[in-house]
Structure 1
Amino acid sequence: MSTSSYWMESAPPREHPPLTEDLTVDVAVIGGGIAGLSAAWELTRAGRTVAVLEADRPAAGVTGHTSAKLSAQHTLIYAELAGRDPETARRYARSQQEAVEHVARTAAELGVDCELERRPAYTYVRSPGQVEQIRAEARAAAEAGLAASFVTGTPLPFPVAAAVRVDGQAQFHPRKYLLGLADAMAARGCRIFERTRVTGLHEGRPCRVSTEGGATVTAADVVVATHYPIFDRSLLFARMEPTRELVVAGTLPPGDDPAGMYITSEENTRSVRTAPLPGGDLLLVVTGESFKPGSGRVEDRFDRLAAWTEEHFPRVRLTHRWAAQDNHTTDRLPFAGPLHPGARHAWVATGFGGWGMSNGVMAGLLLSALIGGQEPEWAGLYDPRRLHPLQEAGPMAKMQASVARHFVADRLAAGDGSEVAGLGPGQGKVVKLDGRRCAVYRDEQGQVHAVSAVCTHLGCVVGFNEAERTWECPCHGSRFGVDGRVLQGPAVEPLEPVQPEG
């Protein structure tokens, strides 16, 4: 199977230059995923001068590896939100459904063929013991304003005990949509810079953004849309947890189309959707096997997901596999608003909890409005400065205990330098070399590569992902290549090279 995302393979990138000289704009947007590009589009359309600064390529990071469900139905959330306050659930539903409709309108307006298809979204369970939970969720989602209903059957090729069905949702090709959006905003004067890693932010009037290459962007406002914020001035790190999920995909005869988007939290998450392929076949996309970055045994997880897919869709021919990552907040609501309590011109979008398509668009709309001096009715719902002690105390304590365990235990677990000789091709391990913890990898040609095993973000020890050949931080989700280069933040500095042994 190809180890590249189907979305990446089927939508060739546009070429954008790196930033090489100082620049002044109204708004600097850091990050070229769906949140950053959505914000940049809304700001450009409002008449502001905008620069997008992307460390890699636009729409190539998390957005390029999503399952690309565009839905306001987010597993089981409405009953919980309604339990806090019915108006909270209603505002969440309105903001998420507006994001779905906004993508449909924008694609039609710009003539972007992003394979957008209207499909119902289902959250299902197979266990009879979960039926009442599904019934309560369907009731809460309907009361929040969604076209939700309780059902006991679906078009899936296996029985379910119950499901929440929400009509009026959509699925699409995320890169085709965002690359079309990037073309449209560039035609209106927005400047997009790729392979431009931001390393510093000075807040003020104006703000200044510094980059790895030395060039500076001066802007009245700055949007930090880097998935996991590279700047943490509101202590969001203590309120978010990264989770990685695997994806397998393959061709499916059109007669086997399950005709909807599906998800369950059972079996360590299973998410199902299809997409059109040239020639009439479908692409079946199955996501699941949630795990913390750096926890290992990724090949075993891929095997389980592939086996599940082939068992339930026996005529599928698997062609692709890849992985995605997202951040979950302690109160299950994204952060979109001021970067910290004292911020006046710095903004953030993060913590999308596995639902980055609707949340990314919602955040773009929200931040554009806030920068323009408007305050949508749901602004307070997503404000990063909020704190819900009753909902967040337990998850925050659990999260920080996990970080503390990794910070201590992973240092004690490092092997010694003699283990380098035993590494086979494609294998990696954290060992001590001259008293220093090093991440050591042997490539297929037998050459050994060694870098510091200490994450350059906040100092946790990385773990090896044998399926993707990457080093991953279990604390905050930074990912590095075997050569130490940054693949995914919040880290902005690479792992330091070390002279290997063996």
Structure 2
Amino acid sequence: MSTESLNHRSYWADSAPATGTTTFPALREDSADVVVVGGGIVGLLTAWELTRRGADVVLVEAGRIASAVSGRTSAKVTALHGFTYSSLAERHDEATAELYARSQVDALRHLAGVVDTLDADVGWERVPAYSYVESARELPRLQAEERAAAAAGLPVRAVTEVDLPFPVAGALRLDDQYQFHPRRFLLALAADLARRGVRIYENSRVVKLHDGAVGRVATADGATVTAPDVVVATHYPVFDRSGAFARLSVRREVVLAGSLPVDRAPGGMYLTFEDRTRSMRCAPLPDPGRRLLVVTGEKFTPGEEDAAGAFHRLTDWARVRFPGVRLSHRWATQDAFSTDGLPLVGRLNPATRHVLLATGFAGWGMSGGVMAARLLTDYLTGRPRPPWSRIYDPRRLPGFSEAGELLGHQAFVAKHFVGDRLHSDPPLAELAPGEGAVVEYEGERHAAYREPDGRVRLLSARCTHLGCLVRFDDAEREWACPCHGSRFAVDGSVLHGPATRPLEAREAPAEPFEGPGGGP
């Protein structure tokens, strides 16, 4: 079975549809104590925390809640984050690594309490987490992580025996971690919020922010919400005044899901950074004789690499390493990485006291999202903040170790802002049905997509965020901006921020495409 024949929707979306469970209207006008922008784990959980402390909350989501990044995750909830602790100790210091570990452990404990309070079937399971290497050459790196994680307070232990169907050179194990069905959890959270009086609005893309004594956000349709405080929980900030775009890079990662016989299914959550990252875990299925296998990997920059190739490489790997797996779903997810390796959670910038944001979780959005929701709630309710709040403050100054990352990120953006305009483009006539490319047409560069019937759809090739040239993602048939990760449908509509406006339509040639045989 090829990857094209697999279901291209997230397994979590297919197995927990929102229809009949949660349906929320589009925003008209409203006001509240706090408006939360974004309906993923950070936004929903922040609204939940604030409501339990007596705040009147409005939540506004551009599409459907729990359908963007939080609905496409692997849903590992763990404090063992690959080789994060040795990296933090090296780039910052051991105290920073310890605060990071304490914040993640606190998030796990708190999320377990939230799940217990909701009393919903969210596939919650307690399992061990592993970071492993297959090559003996990588053992020194694994040993450095063991020392750093232990110094940070995590009870990790080195092991060589794991329940994977292939050998490893070594692994770190951390017990009593969690995994769950992310959409079931988030939909249960949204239903509980609605019962508690939170007004949730869907299909309401926020495009403007007024930051004054009273904040105000406005949607593309002109609807507004006013509130003294605003939380921007949109994965990648959709407002540039934070300056976060200068400190964030974006990576995309492909995901496969399928079933295994229960006796062949690993019982833990696994991660290695070898082979362009490989991450896997299993989950319950309606058939008690089988388990769902979820495999992720092949990190790449949106619009920079061949997504179809990433799907094929991961598929081949999964079928070799897990013989007998019946793959059923394929999709992709997206993560934001800060230049100093730490999320940004807190005040938007030094000049504001009323707008907060959370971003930069580097693939650990489940535990990081819980941490962020708790920290944002402490900011907004005036409660004493935990000691780790300082390492996440967006207003922190870049350190010496961050300088190279900052310069590299800005050079990468400059390459796509300027350098892409110097490349030659394919002729429009060479574009086959179902294909897209930036092309030269009537002396200008356009994002061109040829429909299956041969008609051409032309759009501006400039991303509406900061003007970089978009590229066509052949695997997902979407336009992607390599600079900051915005994604657009073939009709130009926004699928993923930070862009909030669609690609502008251009007049296209009316004649249909004539292929080699003379017909469409």
Q: Is 1:26 matched up with 2:21?
A: no
- The CA deviation string for residues 22-49 of structure 1, in whole angstroms up to 9 with x for no partner, is 2110000000011111111101111100
Amino acid corresponding to residue 325 of structure 1 in structure 2: Q
Q: 1:9 aligns with which of 9, 14, 19?
A: 14
Is the 1:153–1:161 contact (alpha carbons within 8 Å) kept by the matching residues of 2? no
Query: 2:39–2:65: 8 Å Cα contact kept in structure 1?
Result: yes
Residue of structure 2 equivalent to 1:328: 337
**How far off is 1:454 after superposition?**
0.4
> For residues 414 and 276 of structure 1, what CA distance do their matches in structure 2 show?
50
2:492 pairs with 1:487: no
Distance 1:365 1:112 in 2: 21
Deviation at 1:166, TM superposition (A): 1.1
Aligned with residue 172 of structure 2, among 156, 161, 164 = 164
Counterpart check, 1:106 vs 2:114: yes
Q: Which residue of 1 aligns with 2:353?
A: 344
SS at match of 1:415: coil
**2:74 is matched with which residue: 54, 63, 67?**
67
Q: Deviations over 1:305-350 (max 9, x none)?
A: 0000000001101100000001000111100000011110100000
Judge conservation of contact 2:447–2:458 (CA < 8 Å) in 1: yes
Correspondence for 2:391 among 376, 381, 388: 381
How much has 1:414 moved relative to structure 2? 4.6
User: Residue type matched to 2:400 in 1?
Assistant: L
Please state how far the C-alpha of 1:445 moved relative to its aligned partner: 2.4
Q: How many Å separate the matches in 2 of 1:296 and 1:106?
A: 39
Which of structure 1's runs of 4+ aligned residues deviate more than 6 A?
none
- Supply the distance in 2 between the matched residues of 1:225 and 1:437 (Cα, whole angstroms): 34
Taking the aligned partners of 2:151 and 2:399, their CA distance within structure 1 comes to 26
1:230–1:492 contact (8 Å) kept in structure 2: yes
Q: Does 389-398 or 48-57 show the bigger shift?
A: 389-398
Deviation at 1:143, TM superposition (A): 2.3
Distance of 2:348 and 2:120 partners within structure 1: 32
Equivalent of 1:356 in 357, 365, 368: 365
Is 1:260 matched up with 2:262?
no
* 1:312 corresponds to which of 302, 321, 327: 321
Q: Conserved in 1, the CA contact under 8 Å of 2:88 and 2:341?
A: no
2:319 is matched by which residue type in structure 1? Answer: E
- CA distances 1:132-189 after superposition (whole Å, capped 9, x unpaired): 2111211221222222111223111111111111111111001111111111111111
**Partner AA of 1:413 in structure 2:** H
SS at match of 2:505: coil
- Cα pair 2:35 2:57 within 8 Å, conserved: yes
Match of residue 371 from structure 1: 380
Q: Does 1:413 align with 2:418?
A: no
Give the TM-score of the pair, scaled to structure 1: 0.98
Q: In structure 2, give the amino acid aligned to 1:15.
A: T
Give the stretch that moved more between structures: 153-162 or 462-471: 153-162
Matched-pair contact (CA < 8 Å) for 1:207–1:222: yes
Equivalence for 2:54: 47
Q: How many angstroms does 1:254 deviate by?
A: 0.3
Amino acid at match of 2:396: R
Q: Secondary structure at the match of 2:292?
A: strand
The Cα of 1:421 is off from its aligned counterpart by 2.0
Q: Deviations over 1:395-426 (max 9, x none)?
A: 1111111111111221122525xx22222121
Query: Mind listing any 5+ residue stretches in structure 1 that lack a counterpart?
Result: none
The alpha carbon displacement at 1:380 in A equals 0.5
Q: Letter of the 1:27 partner, please give it.
A: V
Provide the secondary structure at the position in 1 that maps to 2:429.
helix
Give the letter for the 1:300 counterpart. G
Q: TM-score, normalised by structure 2?
A: 0.94
1:95-135 CA deviation, whole Å, 9 max, x = no partner?
11111121211111110211011111111111211112111
Contact 1:32 1:54 in 2 (8 A): yes
Q: Aligned partners of 1:94, 1:168: CA distance in 2, in Å?
A: 15
Contact 1:414 1:437 in 2 (8 A): no
Q: Distance in 1 between matches of 2:394 and 2:169?
A: 37
C-alpha distance in structure 2 between counterparts of 1:152 and 1:398, whole Å: 37
Written as runs of structure 1 = structure 2, the 5 A alignment for 1:208-357 is 208-280=216-288, 281-357=290-366
Kept in 2: contact 1:296–1:466 (CA 8 A): no
3-state DSSP of counterpart to 1:88: helix
Match in the other structure for 1:460: 468
CA distance in 2, matches of 1:78, 1:347: 26
Asked whether the 8 Å contact 2:428–2:440 carries over to 1, the reply is no
Matched letter for residue 352 of structure 2: A
Q: Does 1:136 align with 2:144?
A: yes
What SS does the corresponding residue of 1:233 show, helix, strand or coil?
A: helix
Structure 1 Cα separation of the partners of residues 415 and 97 of structure 2: 35
Q: Secondary structure at the match of 2:281?
A: strand
Shift of 1:272: 0.6
Aligned to 1:207: 215
Distance apart, 1:369 and its partner CA? 0.8
Amino acid in the other structure paired with 1:41: W
Give the Cα–Cα distance (whole angstroms) in 2 for the partners of residues 146 and 16 of structure 1. Answer: 41
Q: Is the 8 Å Cα contact of residues 138 and 165 (structure 1) preserved in structure 2?
A: no
In the alignment, the residues of structure 1 paired with residue 120 and residue 373 of structure 2 have an alpha-carbon distance, to the nearest angstrom, of 18
The structural deviation recorded for 1:450 is 1.1
Which is further off, 455-464 or 77-86?
Answer: 77-86
Q: Percent identity?
A: 53
Matched, 1:117 2:125: yes
Residue number in structure 2 paired with 1:57: 64
**Is 1:428 matched with 2:436?**
yes
Matches within 5 A, 1:432-451: 432-451=440-459
- Distance in 2 of aligned mates of 1:40 and 1:142: 34
User: 5+ residue gaps in structure 2?
Assistant: 1-5, 512-520
Q: Compute the RMSD of aligned alpha carbons.
A: 1.1
